[in-house]
């Protein structure tokens, strides 16, 4: 009997609030981000799930989101594995820049292509496909076997690292994934079949911005 995979995007970060490209930079959560993480944790507590293991990225905004959620579900001591394979997409030369300033420098259309295309990376950075190229193997070798062994697994990570996973789980094309945005702090609960395909998907809580 396969277990359950829960994916949660971190709550709002200080750089989200300032409209900056973040990538592998390491700002913490805002007050709203903490509130969003608490809401996600409460939704999981209400759902009634207990976790066997958790995964997060090498970045503090995802780690602190996970910590808040685990506090909410009374599992603060849960085994947690951190790996930069789950880090946000690296925005390269855009990292730390205000998105409006980037548009002024490179033009609205070019910045839109870097942000929303599947395989065109910003200068010195990663495309969504590049991000998937490190997320997918890690999922297959480390996370998926735990779920298939019947464990309940929590992953707290980032908009693009999780979008690359959702693309595979939901069997989306590279065109379809471009219009998918993941809401901050909102858990997505996947139950998997024994062959690793998705049996069911449930989004807990606020659906605004989930699609």
The one catalytic residue among 36, 88, 126, 158: 88
Q: Locate 9 and state its tokens.
A: 């995007």
Instruction: Establish whether 171 is an annotated binding residue.
Output: no
Instruction: Establish whether 152 is an annotated binding residue.
Output: no
Instruction: Establish whether 115 is an annotated binding residue.
Output: yes
Catalytic status, residue 31: no
Catalytic status, residue 10: yes
Instruction: Establish whether 52 is an annotated binding residue.
Output: no
Instruction: Establish whether 116 is an annotated binding residue.
Output: yes
* Residue 143, phi then psi, degrees to nearest 5: -90, -50
Instruction: Establish whether 88 is an annotated binding residue.
Output: yes
The one catalytic residue among 10, 36, 126, 158: 10
φ/ψ region of 196 (left if φ > 0, alpha if ψ in -120 to 50, else beta) reads left
Angle formed by the axes of helices 31-47 and 60-72, to 10°? 40
Using a 10 angstrom Cβ sphere, with 0-12 exposed, 13-18 middle and 19 or more buried, the burial of residue 172 is middle
Instruction: Establish whether 12 is an annotated binding residue.
Output: yes
Query: Tokens 């396969």 belong to which residue?
Result: 2
Question: Which of 34, 159, 26, 141 lies closest to 95, judged by CA?
Answer: 26
Residue 198 CA, chain-centre distance (Å), reads 18
Instruction: Establish whether 129 is an annotated binding residue.
Output: no
Q: Would you name the residues annotated as active-site residues?
A: 10, 88
- Binding residue ranges: 9-16, 22-23, 61, 88-91, 99, 115-116, 159-160
- Binding residue ranges for substrate: 9-16, 22-23, 61, 88-91, 99, 115-116, 159-160
């Amino acid at each position: 009997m396969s277990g359950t995979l829960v994916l949660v995007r971190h709550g709002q970060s200080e750089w989200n609030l300032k409209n900056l490209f973040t990538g592998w930079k390491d700002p913490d959560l805002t007050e709203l981000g903490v509130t969003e993480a608490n809401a996600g944790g409460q939704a999981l507590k209400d759902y009634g799930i207990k976790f066997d293991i958790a995964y997060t990225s090498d970045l503090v905004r995802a780690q602190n989101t996970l910590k808040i959620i685990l506090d909410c579900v009374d599992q603060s001591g849960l085994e947690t594995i951190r790996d930069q394979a789950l880090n946000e997409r690296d925005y390269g030369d855009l990292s730390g820049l205000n998105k409006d300033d980037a548009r002024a420098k490179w033009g609205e259309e070019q910045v839109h292509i870097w942000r929303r295309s599947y395989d065109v990376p910003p200068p010195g950075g990663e495309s969504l496909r590049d991000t998937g190229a490190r997320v997918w193997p890690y999922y297959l070798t480390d996370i998926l076997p735990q779920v298939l062994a019947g464990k309940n697994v929590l992953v707290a990570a980032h908009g693009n690292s999780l979008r690359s996973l959702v693309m595979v789980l939901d069997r989306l094309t590279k065109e379809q994934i471009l219009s998918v945005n993941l809401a901050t702090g909102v858990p997505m609960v996947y139950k998997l079949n024994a062959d690793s395909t998705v049996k069911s998907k449930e989004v807990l809580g606020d659906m605004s911005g989930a699609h």
